[in-house]
Structures are given as C-alpha cells and as structure tokens.
Chains A and B, each alone.
Chain A
C-alpha cells in the first residue's frame, strides 16, 4: 500500500489548535526559561547573555543541594503516606462497594478539585493550630497541645490535601478493572485474603499503582502552598527556594536553574515510573 504523502489539511486543521497551544504555553516558556538560566543580572536588571555563572553558582552551593535532597525526601514521604492512606479506601471501593457506591464515591472525590487548594489549605489552620480543634480534642483526653503548624507534619497534611483525592481515584480505577476470577482463583488455590493483596491484586494493578505514586510525587515535589503555609518554610523546598531567589535581588536566572533542575528530576521520576510499570517479563 502506498501512503498518500500529501499533507492532509483537514486532519491538520483539527490538530492545529492543540499544537499551537502546546507551542505557546509549554514549549515556548521552557525554551525561554532555559535561555534565561544563562542570562545575567546587573544592577537588579536582567540582561541577555550566555554565561554559565548561574549554573556554576547554584550547583556549587550547599543550600541548593540541601533543599534539593530535602524536597526529594519529603515528596517521597508524601508519596508513601498518600499511597498507604489511599489503599484501604481504594481497595474497599474497588472490591467491596457496589457499582453505584463506587461511582458516587469517585464523584465525591472529584468535588475537592472544585474548591481552591489555597482555601482548603488555610482551613487546616483552624484544625491544626495550638488553640485549634485537634489540640482542643486532644486536650480533653489530657494530651498536648502539640505544635503541628510549621512542621514537617504540617507540610505532609498539606500534601495529602492536594494529592489524596487523586491518588484514591487512580488506585480505585487500577483495582476496579481486575478480573474477579483471578482473585477467586487465588483463594481457590489456598491464598489467604490478605496474602491475595500482595500476591495477586498488586501485581495486577501495578501499572495503575505506579501512575498513582508518580502523580503523588510530582504534585508534592512541585507544590509551594503546603510547605510554605503549613510547613512554615523551614528547610525550604525547591518551590520555596525559587520564590526566595526571585525576590532576593531579582535573581530570575538562578531561579530558572532551580526550575530546570526540578523539571529534569520530574522527567527522570516519570520515565523511571513508566519503565517500571511497563517492564516486560523476560520471554524466551
């Protein structure tokens, strides 16, 4: 069969809007940001240049690497917590709930996205502060008060607010499609119910589970609101470092360096996730 090599303008006209959108709002800004990382700042004004000064400075500074590893650590912790908290919920929705309950639950899990994340984060002040609801309740049983705001715990609460609904949805979808006869076959062959989760359900839901974990990591890694407002920007994460850098002496080029490092990290995590999710068994 010979392929028609003439461009199909009709098909192109449908694809064009998304191509233009991607070029304008994704590719363009990235190219500009990469270029900007080589610019110089003189007298608080950015000037076009091609110098490695910013890269050299950021890559050799301890505070950058401290922040980098701290962000990776806390985003990983967030991923672990998110996956563990979401799993029992998603498992129940996928295997125990009826079709209607599951649909309703997924709808309810989408609702939080209708409200501003910032507003949801601020509502935690009421609950977590020294004189807040949670400490008051703990006080009745003779505990506390505990400092929960401006701690790593606070940051994690914020990350969960951001990621948990999505992680539950992704995990539920990953498990809802599992062929029930495979789970029954495992029981039939002597696999205990809890063992079945590890032996059969997780291997079958692997791809969806990894996608959920990667999303949880990416969202936490790039989030500014939770570490800034609930974590009190102690041990600044990379998003906080970017804000600080742009504020102090208009160092946009150095902020660009941080941003590019973040993007590279996220690409690496996403590709590692995809490679793991779709890793084929050796076939002989």
Chain B
C-alpha cells in the first residue's frame, strides 16, 4: 500500500429531510480492498455513488488521488462501477459492452476491439464476445460487467453488491475471481455489500455502517473478534451480548452483574459503571454438568439450526435471555439432545469482549 487514494473529509449527504450519510471521515489506501457493509438504508450505496459522482456531497470534501472531486462530473471521472443489476447495455453484444467506455474516450476501433477481446479472454468468456448479453448466464454477464469496468484500466473499481443476484455456488467462485483480480492488478476495490461472508472473505478492511455513520473500521478478524459496539456485535456474526453493572474492578479485570448472572471480563472498567460485553457463539462451550470454569451459566435448550458441519444451538437462561452456541456437528453428537433439557454454558473471561457503548 503506497499512500491514500480516497479521502472522505467530513462528508455529509442529505436528500431533503433524510440524512443518508452523516459526517463521514474515511481514508482508503492505494491497492486496498475495502468492503463497506451494513443493513439496507445505512448509507453504504450513497457513499459509493458519491465516489462515482452520481451523487454530490451536501457538505465536506471527497478527494481522489489528492484531487478534490466534489464538482467533477461522473463522465469526467475514472471510477468505473459494477452495478447490482450489472447495467449491461441490452442492445450491444458482450464485446461492444466492453468496448463502450473506450469508445467514449475516442480509442480507435482496432485498439478497442483488441483490448476488449483481451479482457473477455482473461475473464474466460471470449467465445461469447459476439453474443447478445441477454443470452448469457448470470455468471457470464457478471464477467462482462467486470471486463467493461476493468478495460478502462482505472486506479479504483467500485462494486455495488455485484454478487447479490447470483446463486450461492457462483458467489464463491466470483469471490475468488475478484480477490485474484484485485491482487494481480494492484488497484483499489471498494465493495459495497450487506453480506458478511462476501465482505469478510475478500476485503483487507471492512467498514461497518449504521444509519449514515461508520460504526467500526477494521480487518475482518478485528471486527469479528472485537466488535466496537452493540450494533456491530449484533450485526456481525453470532454474538451473545450481555449488559449490566460493574460490581468489582481491579487491575485488568472486572465483574459485571447482569440479569443472567455475574461474569468476569478482562479490561479496565470502573466500579458502578454500566457495561456490555459480547461473546462470540463459537467461543461458548456446552456441558451437561456444571463445569469448573470462570464464567458458567445454566440454560435450557430451545432449538438447533443445522447447516452442514456447523450447528447453532439456541438456548434460554432463567431470566429469558437468548444465547447462541456454535459447534461442530460431530462435537454435538456426544450429547443426546431432544430439546428442553438443562445444559451448562461456559466461556473464558478473555473471550468476553467489552463494547464501547456500555
């Protein structure tokens, strides 16, 4: 990574009364794969569209490679985008779609055809070059859309939920294609998605947005293991979140009294303050007898969700709080579960992650 490519400096975007993006400050490095993730309406697509010039920031400044972009028209930018709908031109063949941008730049016919064919070849769809895009499969159309953007040889590629219309097995394959392309080309990818698996599988850094604000920025692992706040903890993965009052605090350790019980966490807290912590569902263990451990809790099994080799158990504590536990299917088979039985949970204090917003 050599320097900042994109800078959002106090950017705010409102549509009439509705504020889509509030005071955003974000820096994206050269050659970085950044995923912007959040629920619908969180402002992630608006952020991307501002980068492409399709929306203008209400206040603040967006800089691309040091240049202030606020008043640069979309067609004067070099920020090709891959749309959720792909937005391929139905009246053009696959090759003509890829040539479109070059044609607008006044590249001569022979050059643009050879460059378009190079890209179609690289994407493995050269044989469909003269086919109407409507006759191609979802995966092939996806590759045409990528080729159409990348043939422009941009510094940055914008992707707006490009895989959301594909079948699950194609999504995995396209993820591999995208990550490989990004590494080979060394350009910046900004990838907007609501899918955690897509963001975590591909991105160097993930930006989590909520209601127009950045909730957390970090590597996938940081966000997964150390969610900054309640929103991220709830949005990302299967986290168990408990809130309560700090009853004892000493060097690097604290006891938090929650309605479900009193638990030990690592971290600096002061006695009497409100605090919340999250424990990832895969770091909680299940026992049929009460174990000797730092943090234990008695629960009743409600239901289980079985997806391949991983099983999620849904349990309820005495005060009615729901807990989630993830484990391998083969680990589960040692218990003979029918539902409704009493079980014991335990987790290490080190795995309880304190949330910033109490």
Q: Is the CB of A191 within 8 A of B85?
A: no
A174-219 interface (Cβ within 8 A of B): 179, 181-182, 184-193, 195, 199-200, 203-204, 206
B344 on interface, CB distance cutoff 8 Å: no
Q: Is the CB of A283 within 8 A of B135?
A: yes
Among residues of B, the one whose C-beta sits closest to the C-beta of A185 is: B87
A284 on interface, CB distance cutoff 8 Å: yes
Q: Is the CB of A195 within 8 A of B104?
A: yes
Identify 17 new A-B residue pairs, CB closer than 8 A, beyond the known A179-B87, A189-B100, A283-B132. A181-B84, A182-B89, A185-B83, A185-B87, A185-B89, A188-B77, A188-B79, A188-B80, A189-B80, A189-B104, A190-B152, A192-B75, A206-B91, A281-B93, A281-B132, A283-B131, A283-B135
Q: Is the CB of B130 within 8 A of A284?
A: yes
Residue positions of A touching B, CB distance < 8 A: 179, 181-182, 184-193, 195, 199-200, 203-204, 206, 281, 283-284
B93-129 interface (Cβ within 8 A of A): 93, 100-101, 104-105
B190 on interface, CB distance cutoff 8 Å: no
Residue positions of B touching A, CB distance < 8 A: 52-54, 73-77, 79-81, 83-85, 87, 89-91, 93, 100-101, 104-105, 130-132, 135, 148, 152
Q: Which 8 A-B pairs have the closest CB atoms?
A: A189-B101, A185-B87, A190-B104, A187-B74, A181-B87, A203-B91, A187-B75, A191-B104
A36 vs chain B, min Cβ distance (A): 46
Instruction: Count CB-based A-B contacts (< 8 Å).
Output: 67
Q: Is the CB of B75 within 8 A of A204?
A: no
The complex places the Cα of A283 from the Cα of B77 at a distance, in Å, of 34
The complex places the Cα of A283 from the Cα of B80 at a distance, in Å, of 28
Q: Which residues of B contact A195 (CB under 8 A)?
A: 104
Q: Which residues of B contact A199 (CB under 8 A)?
A: 100, 104
The complex places the Cα of A203 from the Cα of B152 at a distance, in Å, of 23
The complex places the Cα of A135 from the Cα of B104 at a distance, in Å, of 47
Main secondary structure of the interface of A (DSSP, over half): helix
Q: Which residues of A contact B89 (CB under 8 A)?
A: 182, 185-186, 200, 203
Q: Is the CB of A190 within 8 A of B132?
A: no
B89 vs chain A, min Cβ distance (A): 6
B62 vs chain A, min Cβ distance (A): 16
Q: Is the CB of A187 within 8 A of B54?
A: yes
The complex places the Cα of A189 from the Cα of B103 at a distance, in Å, of 9
Among residues of A, the one whose C-beta sits closest to the C-beta of B100 is: A189
* Contact for A188 among B81, B84, B85, CB less than 8 A: B81
Task: Give the residue among A187, A188, A192, A281 with the most B Cβ atoms within 10 A.
Answer: A188
Q: Which residues of B contact A206 (CB under 8 A)?
A: 91
Q: Is the CB of A284 within 8 A of B104?
A: no
Task: Give the residue among A193, A199, A206 with the most B Cβ atoms within 10 A.
Answer: A199
The complex places the Cα of A185 from the Cα of B91 at a distance, in Å, of 14
Task: Give the residue among B53, B76, B90, B104 with the most A Cβ atoms within 10 A.
Answer: B104
The complex places the Cα of A206 from the Cα of B91 at a distance, in Å, of 10
The complex places the Cα of A195 from the Cα of B73 at a distance, in Å, of 14
The complex places the Cα of A36 from the Cα of B148 at a distance, in Å, of 62
Q: Is the CB of A184 within 8 A of B87?
A: yes
Q: Which residues of B contact A182 (CB under 8 A)?
A: 87, 89
The complex places the Cα of A115 from the Cα of B341 at a distance, in Å, of 80
